Amino acid sequence: MNKAQIISAAEEYVKELLSGEGSGHDWWHILRVWNNAKHIAGYEQVDTFVVELAALLHDIGDHKFYNGDASVGPRMAREWLESQLVPEEIIAHVCSIIRDLSYKGAGTSSAMPTIEGQVVQDADRLDAIGAIGVARAFAYGGHKNREMYNPAITPVLHNSFEEYKSSTAPTLNHFYEKLLLLKDRMHTETAKKLAAQRHHFMEQFLEQFYAEWNGNR
């Protein structure tokens, strides 16, 4: 199979696996990230085969093991890529991107050593902010039975991945520990520009949310 055929096969594999997922990692998230990644990659010197494979396969381990083992995704990706006879060098690169991709809390770093990984991380993070980001946060919060907001609970920032992942704070807390921090953690100029606009929208959303909460007309 040539590269285009492998990308198409990856699309089919992921679509099948993640269709109808309700917690924020459905096929449509993957499609948006894939499109973001292709857009950003157009402005960078990158191996687009690696970028597209990593974008397509980045969340395949999460649908079942949401709170669990971070090695599941890279392992599933490796198995699938091996089944397609993708060269080992590319498999290793794609799997290391998938392993390093996810956000691990406000006080943790987002190290991503290669430009291909940076493009995919920016693409994934753009989908966590803006209008879609707001929608995904509340979808996730509902899925986990969280309150939307509780004025008696002061926002908390978690400094370790374990605390961050096990937090049961209301959904609005997630804006302070992740969504509002992402614009300053983008790697590429293209993503920085898109993030600035999406960030501004979230600030307006929060302003309006608090105004309505407090009964202002």
Neighbours of 169 (CB within 10 A): 18
CB of 24 to ligand ADP, least distance (A): 4
CB of 18 to Ni ion, least distance (A): 10
DSSP symbol at 155 = P
CB of 51 to ligand ADP, least distance (A): 16
Among 121, 171, 188, 190, binds ligand ADP (CB under 6 A): 171
- 59 lies in the site for Ni ion, by CB under 5 A: yes
- Span from 41-49, 105-113, 123-131, 179-187 in contact with Ni ion (CB under 5 A): 123-131
Question: Do the beta carbons of residue 39 and residue 82 sit within 8 Å?
Answer: no
* Nearest CB to Ni ion, comparing residues 59 and 177: 59
Q: How far apart are CA 64 and CA 146, in angstroms?
A: 20
CB of 173 to ligand ADP, least distance (A): 7
> Backbone phi, then psi, for 151, in 5-degree steps?
-65, -15
> Considering only residues 33-62, where is the footprint of ligand ADP by CB under 6 A?
59, 62
Q: How far apart are CA 109 and CA 15, in angstroms?
A: 31
When computed from its CA atoms, the radius of gyration of the chain, rounded to whole angstroms, is 18
